[in-house]
């Protein structure tokens, strides 16, 4: 009789304590088959959506629905068999099917040294788990962005170095042209003038002076062409379309036939875009004149999809070449024209493609991302 009284006192104390708590609590009968629920408090009903009469006599696994493949369930069963307290995280489901993360604290309740109940304190930690996942995702994204930034910095460093090398190559070519063209022609003019100072009749002197004037005129034209190639003033004053048209007129005056299309693009583009596209066209048509033996050339610039791209295509019907390894061949033979074009485009975040085959002509395509505002 005393044992029964103690049992009732313990039950009354325990339920009174749990009724007053603001966390979800459940009591199961440790001595009945399958540990049925014998008590839940109001916080349990609020958290799970189940009323007390819907869960009494049932096992707590009803909160897991069909989501039974959870490692912690086996650990809980082992703790119950050993009458040991435990702490685990479970995916539980409310009556309406909504999943929530349940932090379960389970401990045995003894009376006269015998375990008579298991008491479970349950906390809905869904928000904490979600925040933790967000923090982990944010950390992963931050790590990814840092790695991407590091990769981009290295790429820009490599491109900058290549650009410096290309600039040095251009300076070397300019120095060679100054030496070969200007040096020789100036020497020729000096020879004409020296001879004109010697003893000879007036007609011969006049002829030498005229020859010297012709050489000076050709040098002036050469200087103007070089100046236009190095930094075309028309680009800044008249824009890309007019400057490329003038370039093609000047370089292709003796052939080949050519077509230039500037389609659906604004009159002016950002200066760095204009300079890059001009250089690509300039280098390409120079290569065509030197190597392609082409009869027809097409230069096309147009607006890309969604007004966010500019595409440049330069195609010829010349002799072509094996373009399968153009980067490797260009680097190994010091033919840096295509490589220089590619690096200019890549430095602005664009793409550069070369298509060619022997006796099948060549097509160069470059795409730059830039917002094209409508005129």
For residue 333, pLDDT beyond 50: no
pLDDT in tens, 270-313: 888 888 899 899 889 988 998 899 999 999 999 877 678 899 99
Between 269 and 202, whose confidence is greater?
269
Secondary structure of 38-102 in HEC code, one letter for each residue = EEECHHHHHHHCCCHHHHCCCCHHHHHCCCCCCHHHHHHHHHHHCCCCEEEEEEEECCCCCEEEE
Q: Where are the domains of the chain?
A: 2-124, 144-230, 238-375
pLDDT in tens, 337-360: 788 788 888 888 889 999 999 999
pLDDT reported for residue 56: 95
pLDDT in tens, 105-138: 999 998 888 899 999 999 999 999 888 888 888 8
User: Residue 219, SS3?
Assistant: helix
pTM, 2 dp? 0.48
pLDDT reported for residue 207: 81
Q: What is the mean pLDDT of the chain?
A: 84
Q: Which CATH number fits the domain 238-375, given the four candidates 3.20.10.10, 3.40.50.300, 3.30.565.10, 3.90.550.10? A: 3.30.565.10
How are strands ordered across the β-sheet holding 309-316? 257-263, 296-303, 309-316, 362-369, 351-356
pLDDT in tens, 26-45: 999 999 999 999 999 999 99
Length of the chain: 375
pLDDT in tens, 56-71: 999 999 999 999 899 8
How many CA atoms does the CB half-sphere of 23 hold within 13 Å?
A: 12
Which numeric CATH code is attached to 2-124?
3.30.450.20
The DSSP 8-state label assigned to residue 149 in this structure reads H
Start-to-end Cα distance in the chain:
99
Orientation of helix 271-287 relative to helix 337-347, angle to 10°: 160
Q: Residues 215, 219, 220, 226: what is their CA dihedral angle, to the nearest 10 degrees? A: 160
The DSSP 8-state label assigned to residue 232 in this structure reads -
Q: How far is CA 363 from CA 149, 297, 355, 358, 366, in A?
A: 33, 10, 5, 12, 10
The single residue listed with the structure tokens 């962005």 is 145
pLDDT reported for residue 230: 66
For residue 334, pLDDT beyond 50: no
Among the listed ranges 87-96, 173-182, 235-244, which one has the minimum average pLDDT value? Answer: 173-182
């Amino acid at each position: 009789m005393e044992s029964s009284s103690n049992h009732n006192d313990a039950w009354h104390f325990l339920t009174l304590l749990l009724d007053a708590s603001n966390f979800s609590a459940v009591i199961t009968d440790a001595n009945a088959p399958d540990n049925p629920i014998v008590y839940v408090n109001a916080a349990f009903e609020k958290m799970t959506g189940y009323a007390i009469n819907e869960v009494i006599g049932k096992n707590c696994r009803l909160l897991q629905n069909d989501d039974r493949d959870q490692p912690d369930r086996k650990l809980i069963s082992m703790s119950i068999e050993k009458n040991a307290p435990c702490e685990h995280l479970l995916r539980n489901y409310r009556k309406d099917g909504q999943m929530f993360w349940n932090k379960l604290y389970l401990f045995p309740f003894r009376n006269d040294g015998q375990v008579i109940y298991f008491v479970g304190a349950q906390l809905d930690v869904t928000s904490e788990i979600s925040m933790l996942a967000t923090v982990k995702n944010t950390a992963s994204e931050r790590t990814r962005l840092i790695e991407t930034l590091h990769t981009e910095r290295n790429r820009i460093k490599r491109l900058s170095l290549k650009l410096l090398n290309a600039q040095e190559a251009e300076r070397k070519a300019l120095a060679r042209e100054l030496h070969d063209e200007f040096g020789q022609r100036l020497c020729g003019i000096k020879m004409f003038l020296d001879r004109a100072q010697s003893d000879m009749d007036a007609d011969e002197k006049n002829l030498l002076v005229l020859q010297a004037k012709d050489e000076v005129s050709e040098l002036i034209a050469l200087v103007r062409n070089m100046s236009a190639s190095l930094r075309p003033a028309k680009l800044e004053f008249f824009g890309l379309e007019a400057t490329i048209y003038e370039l093609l007129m000047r370089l292709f005056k003796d052939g080949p036939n050519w077509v230039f299309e500037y389609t659906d693009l604004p009159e002016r583009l950002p200066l760095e875009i204009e300079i890059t596209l001009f250089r690509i066209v300039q280098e390409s048509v120079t290569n065509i004149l030197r190597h392609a033996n082409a009869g027809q050339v097409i230069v096309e610039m147009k607006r890309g999809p969604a007004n966010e791209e500019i595409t440049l295509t330069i195609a010829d019907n010349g002799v072509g070449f094996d373009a399968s390894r153009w980067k490797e061949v260009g680097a190994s033979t010091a033919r840096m024209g295509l490589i220089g074009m590619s690096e200019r485009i890549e430095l602005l975040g664009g793409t550069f493609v070369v298509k060619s085959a022997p006796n099948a002509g060549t097509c160069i395509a470059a795409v730059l991302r830039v917002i094209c505002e409508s005129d």
